Structures are given as structure tokens and as C-alpha cells.
Structure 1
Amino acid sequence: MRAQQQNMKLLALLPVLLAILTFGQSNAAAGSSHLLCYYDGASFIREGLSKLTLNDLEPAMQFCTHLIYGYAGINPSSNKLVSTNEKLDLDLGSSLYRSVTGLKKKYPALKVLLSVGGDKDVADEESSKYLTLLESSNARIPFINSAHSLVKTYGFDGLDLAWQFPKNKPKKVHSGIGTFWKGFKKIFSGDHVVDEKAEEHKEEFTALVRELKNAFRPDGYLLGLSVLPNVNSSLFYDVPALINNLDYINLHAYDFQTPVRNPEVADFPAPIYELNERNPEHNINFQVQYWLNNHAPASKINVGIPTYGRVWKLTKDSGLTGLPPVSDADNVGPAGVQTQTPGFYSWPEVCAKLPNQANQHLKGADGPLRKVGDPTKRFGSYAYRSADDKDENGLWVGYEDPDTAAIKAAYVKSKGLGGVALVDLSFDDFRGGCTGNEKYPILRAIKYKL
């Protein structure tokens, strides 16, 4: 009788035990966010402090779940996947591929993928080889075979498709007659059309992904998609048809505003939420919601976070407040000392221009920028220096730092998304020069928040 009573008690407790077990499993799943780290091999051949060697790269691997190495490209004659560094005989000749995948010996849980495209494979805008390849099933075959061969030969765990689709054209704010005339011109000029064959290319890309996954599946290779900045997802990606053949989607939801795209107006490059009276699509939340609304599992979506800033040159007409959007900017700001790219600063280059003991008494082009944080946690940080009496030395920088990156990681966590894609390790402070010898501060901030 007593044994029967004990059995009854156990049966009564069974639902509670199951609930506890399920809760524990869901918590474990929620705590297993992915952190996919991009490493552009071109940084291996830079000069000076921006050169990122494999020895410099290794400390980051304790934080990354995936390393995405780029970039491979397409040979337009053979339609095969090739190294974009062939002229330097770097990837294949010097076996940097093997060195990168060799990191798995020390970090066995790390997955290393090869990325193709990434806006690094120079393409002719008039006849993009990335679109031409899609249009022929015969052209897709050598691409798929070469991709499988490269992945297998060099020990990669899969392929990342950072496909170079045509970009959205920059949208400018017009008023009154200007708005009417702009719309009137578009009716005849067709300059609003990004790709006249977008619907066909969408179907063909779906076929490519399906064929690639079928080739990869026997070996268990991963296949991921990187949606590059300013590529319209609704034009080129059939989400329901793609999703089952992809292991992840990295949304590179940044660079909405850059001095190249919008030379006359400085504005937040990568806000989380919609800015007042701006394009409602130019924010992380819109991009994420689009994929969720089209039945992409949250667990497969990763939000791209950059490790750099975009720089505009300000004029006397830009005003003194720095409050974006700042009009009357004068195109790209001067290149950073390390990265040597106009309109672009890595995080260490931004950090060096913020107020510190070394620059507090300097003037002119060497003077510190005024930092403005984001108490709303919605849009991002910026720093600026108004133009002087000679209409010189004015700068406006919208950038990512450890604090804003942590805020975005918190957004990812609150949405139950798969994780974060960090772009790029070589623009984080991998030497620890800005933060008291703590290397990779943006990467660390994201990892700790996740």
C-alpha cells in the first residue's frame, strides 16, 4: 500500500519535473548565442599597426563560435571559386587557408567558414559576374564543384555566401517642387530600378543555395548567408524557400548612411531603431523583423555589428551642434592613420580622436572630437569637431564602440535571435592600445552581453 502511495506521488510530481527540465533546456538554448567573427585576409598584408597576423588573431578565438574567413571570389571565365588574393599568391600559395583552419586544433569547438564576395570581389557594375553566374545552371555547376573542393581540401567547415547583389540607391530628402520633379524624372529614367531581372535572380539564387546545400549535405558542411549592407532582402531573397537550406543568416544591418552614399548629410550609420523623419528601412530592427515576418527562425538570424566608424568632413555651414542629420557636409573625411581609407576609421582610430591625455591640449586637425553618447540606446554614438574660421578641420564620425556593441547584443538577446556577426576583427582594437591593454574590447563587450 505504501509503495502504491509513493508511486502516486511520483506520478503527481512528473509534470513539475518535466517543466523544470524543459525550462532548463530552454535556458541552455537561450544562453548558447553564436558569435560569428569575420576576418578579412587582406588585413594580413597591411602595413603598420593595422596589420593583423595570425598571432594577433588567435586571442579572439576564445570568444568566437565561428570564424568567417574572406574573401574568395568568382573567376568570370571559368565560374569557379578562387582566391581574391591570387595576385599576391597569399591564400593558396602561402596556405593561409590551412593556417586559418588550423586554429581548430587549439579551439576544437570553433567552426571556420570560407566567405565568397563580401563586396571585396571587384565586379563590373554593368554586367555583374555574380548575377551572370546565377542565370545559367551550367555556370552554377563549376562554382559548386570548386566551392566543395576548396572547403574540403583546406579543412573549412562550410561556405558563407556574401553574394554581391546590386545595392539600393541612396535616398535623399527632397521638399516641395524637388520631390515632385524627382518622382516625375523616375517615371521616364527608371533610375529607381535596382535590378530589372530581380525576380528571376531571386529564383536563381534560391536554386544555387539548394544545389550547394545538396552538394554539402553528405559531408555535413555548413552553408550560411551574409546579407550585405544596402541589399534589399525583398528583391533578392525568397526567405521561405531559402531558409531550410541555410544554417544561418547574417544581417549586415549597418552602413545605411555613409559619406560615399550621402556626401552632403552626416547621419547615424547603423541605428537599432527607426530615426525620426528618415527612411523607415534604415535600421536593424526593420531588417530583423522582415526576416522574422517571412518565417525565418529567430535562432538562425544573426545581427551584424561593425567595428568601425564612417567619417564626414564638416563645413562652416554644417553648424556647431553636431546633432544629426548634419547638412552641408563636404563628402568623405580624411583617411585614418592606420587604415588609410578616406571616410573610414577603425575603432582604434576613432578612440585616438576622442578626448584623452595625449590630445587634450592639441588644436586644429589634431584636436580631440567631442563625443556624444546615446542615452536612449536606440541610435548609436557619434563624435564631431566643428569647422574652424578657415572652414577647415570639421569632422563628424558615427561609430561603433564597446558600449554601443553591447547594447546591440542586448537587443539580439531580447529578441531571442541566434547571435551576432562581428565585422571585422581587424578593425577592433586587437592590440589593446586604447583600453589599457585589453585586446578586442568590442568583441569582448558583445560576448559578455550575450
Structure 2
Amino acid sequence: MYQKFLIFLTICFLQTVTAEYVRGCYFSDWAHYRPDKGRYEPEMYIPGTCTHIFFAFAKVNDDYTAAAYDDEDTSNGPNGGYYKRVNALKNQQPGLKTILSFGGWSAGTETFKKLAANEGHRKTFVKSAMQFINRYGFDGIDIDWEYPKAGDYDNYVTLLKEIKAADTSKLLTAAVTADAETVDEGYNVGEMAKHLDYVNVMTYDFHGDWEDQTGETSPLFSSDNYNTAFAMNYWAQKGMPKGKLLVGIATYGYGWKLNDPNNNGMNAPGKPAPPLPLTQTNGQGAYFEICNIGGTRHWDAAQKMPYRVSGDLWYGYDDQSSVRSKMGWLKRNGFGGAFTWALDMDDFNGQCPEKQKYILHNAINEILG
């Protein structure tokens, strides 16, 4: 009887451990170049906010070796470089995992295409990347190839397989598209699942300032396939275990300058909003900026998303309510967790009306943490 009781306790313990949700956060090192209260430094991180930090980005050199994008990442200055400073956060939060992400949108696809297609190039990269992350104290590698195409279908899997085989103790993750057609063309999902620990599905940028009408960047639901629920379920249907799939949460939004301020609902015509003062990007703003543009917050019940109208400005974005909705949906549907793009666009200074630091990340942690 005692032996059976011990077995029962062990099973309960293992279920508790394995039920922990991933709460990943991308850290973009260029955020420290923003002015004033937009500037973000690793020391602004509050322990417990994330379970995993993805450092964006490292690069692949022309000779297929791993390297930092910014000299300040590997600096030997008084505080050390950004790699050192991000990894030092593990001293404040035991158990925190740090993962170095290679690629990103600006890296394009050509280097990855050539890398994955050639055995010698793969060997060079894998050896260099492993040495690189060990040198700076990272716990794994994230591949952000945007995006593999039909000719890369098998090569991408081979690249992942060889990275994982080089050191199985290291985490291997991938940031992937939420677009079904691109998934079908470039991703052998069932084979990828054998080598990846987690998959960051970029369930945002469904709509944005490249369009001439307003739209939500990250709807939970919609009348078409451009939404979070469809994308996550599609990856699962293609063969990725739900426990490895992480829902992407945008801590930014897209904005339009309306053609007619009186026509200010969903799909209203407009052009990209002018830059906001801290992120200084046409048609886009961080949550900590959108929350302070004034006007009126509206709720789209069908998409489970808010939007804000202030005069002739219109912004679609995630807030506490929409994030909670997504986290509840995530739990009900058995996915492995969530990740954010990015730490530095949440309200890390507490400058929104709620005066709550990391308000969006806190909403994630309320449900998953």
C-alpha cells in the first residue's frame, strides 16, 4: 500500500511539473537606442516576468559562422555586453532560460537557404553556433528563418536535426509563420516536431499599415483564416504537438490616419499613422505609447480585440482584456504557452494610466503563471 501511495505522489508531482506553461519573451537589443522613456535595458526586467528570454538577434556571417549583430552585445565595457547582462538575469531568477535567436525579418531568407542546403555550411554553422552560445552563457538556439520555401522543405529539417544532435542538452526553438499557405510550402511540420523543443507561432501581423484600411494585428478569431485560433490549430493539425506550440502576443499595435474621422470602425480607409515619439516608426506604436494617445477604446467582440480612436488616429492592439482572452483560450485548447514580441514594448516604466509595469506580461502571468 505504501509503495502504491509513493507511486501516486510521484505521478502527481510529475503532472504538476510538466503542466507549467512557457512564458517566453523576446528581448530586442536595439531598444536601448530609443530615446527617453522608450529606452530599455536588461536591468529593467522584473524577475518572474518570463520563463524564457529570446535574445533578438544574432546573425549568420557570409562564411556561415555565428556572430553578434551589434558590437555592444559582446562589449567588454564596465557593465559587460548585452549578452552578459541578459544572462546575468538568471542570478536573480533561478530557472530562467535564455535562448539566442538567429535571423529575424531583416535577415531575409537567402543566407538560411544557402546554409541549410549545404552539408559543409551546416557543419560550420552548427559548430560555431554551439561554441558561441556556450561562450556567452545561453541555454539554447532559436532559428527565426523568415521563411523557408518549397525548395527548403527537407533542408530546414536537416538543419534543425543537426543543431539538436550537436548538444541535446541545449534548447532548440523556431519562430514560424502563422500563414497556412507558407506553412504548407516550407515546413515539414511532422519532422520538425522531432527536433524542436518549442515553436513560436508568430500570431500577429495579420493586418497592418501595409494595408489601406484599419485592421487588428492579432485577432483571436475572425471570419477568415487570418487569426490566432486558426493558425495555432493549423500547426497542430499538421503534426506539431500542442504542448510545443506557443501563442504569439504582440506588445505593439498598428495605426492609421483615417481618411474620414467619422468613419472610424473596422476596415475604415486610411494611411499609415505618423510616428509616435519613442518608437519613431510609421504606422506602428508600442503599447506604452498607444495607451497614452487619448481618445476612446472600443472592443470588437467578434475578434476579442480592442482598438483605440483619437481624432483621426486609429490603433489596433492587444490590452489586458484581449491577452486574458487568448490565455484562457490557450489553456482550454491545450497549447504549451505563450511568448511576446517584445519585452521592451510593454509598459515597462508604468507610464500608462494604470501605472502598472509590464501590464501585458502580467495579464499572461495571471492566467499561466
Q: Same fold (TM over 0.5)?
A: yes
Moved more, 291-300 or 200-209: 291-300
- Tell me what 1:429 maps to: 347
Q: Does residue 130 of structure 1 match 2:128?
A: no
Q: Does residue 289 of structure 1 match 2:233?
A: yes
Aligned residues with identical type, % of pairs: 27
Verify the 8 A CA contact 1:162 1:228 in the aligned structure 2.
no
- Residue identity in the other structure for 2:220: I
- Tell me what 1:268 maps to: 216
Q: 1:384 to 1:151 in 2, by over 3 A?
A: same
Cα distance, 1:28 vs. partner?
5.4
Query: Equivalent residue of 1:244, what SS?
Result: coil
Verify the 8 A CA contact 1:40 1:71 in the aligned structure 2.
yes
Quote the Cα distance in structure 1 between the aligned partners of 2:246 and 2:73.
27
Quote the Cα distance in structure 1 between the aligned partners of 2:220 and 2:6.
39
- Tell me what 1:357 maps to: none
Cα distance, 1:67 vs. partner?
0.8
Verify the 8 A CA contact 2:178 2:232 in the aligned structure 1.
no
Q: Does residue 83 of structure 1 match 2:65?
A: no
Cα distance, 1:23 vs. partner?
6.3
- Tell me what 1:440 maps to: 358
- Tell me what 1:322 maps to: 264
Cα distance, 1:216 vs. partner?
2.0
Q: Does residue 255 of structure 1 match 2:214?
A: no
Q: Does residue 381 of structure 1 match 2:306?
A: yes
Q: 1:321 to 1:23 in 2, by over 3 A?
A: farther
- Tell me what 1:72 maps to: 58
- Residue identity in the other structure for 2:322: T
- Residue identity in the other structure for 1:338: L
- Residue identity in the other structure for 2:102: V
Q: Does residue 141 of structure 1 match 2:123?
A: yes
**Unaligned segments of structure 2, at least 5 residues:** none
- Tell me what 2:26 maps to: 38
Query: Equivalent residue of 2:292, what SS?
Result: helix
- Counterparts of 1:358-397 in structure 2, within 5 Å, are 368-376=294-302, 378-385=303-310, 394-397=312-315
Larger Rg: 1
- Tell me what 1:154 maps to: 136
- Tell me what 1:4 maps to: none
Deviations 1:193-238 (A, max 9, x none): xxxxx33201110110001111122xx1110011146582222111
Verify the 8 A CA contact 1:230 1:255 in the aligned structure 2.
no
Cα distance, 1:56 vs. partner?
1.1
Quote the Cα distance in structure 2 between the aligned partners of 1:436 and 1:370.
16
- Residue identity in the other structure for 1:271: P
Cα distance, 1:297 vs. partner?
1.4
**Unaligned segments of structure 1, at least 5 residues:** 1-9, 167-197, 354-367, 387-393
Query: Equivalent residue of 1:62, what SS?
Result: coil
Query: Equivalent residue of 1:271, what SS?
Result: coil
Verify the 8 A CA contact 2:59 2:67 in the aligned structure 1.
yes
- Tell me what 1:190 maps to: none
- Residue identity in the other structure for 1:145: K
- Tell me what 2:85 maps to: 99
- Residue identity in the other structure for 1:300: K
Verify the 8 A CA contact 2:34 2:278 in the aligned structure 1.
no
Higher strand fraction (1 or 2) = 2
- Tell me what 2:187 maps to: 237
Q: Does residue 414 of structure 1 match 2:364?
A: no
Cα distance, 1:130 vs. partner?
2.2
- Tell me what 1:165 maps to: 147
Verify the 8 A CA contact 2:177 2:183 in the aligned structure 1.
no
State the superposition RMSD in angstroms: 2.3
- Residue identity in the other structure for 1:42: W
Query: Equivalent residue of 1:112, what SS?
Result: strand
Quote the Cα distance in structure 2 between the aligned partners of 1:373 and 1:435.
18
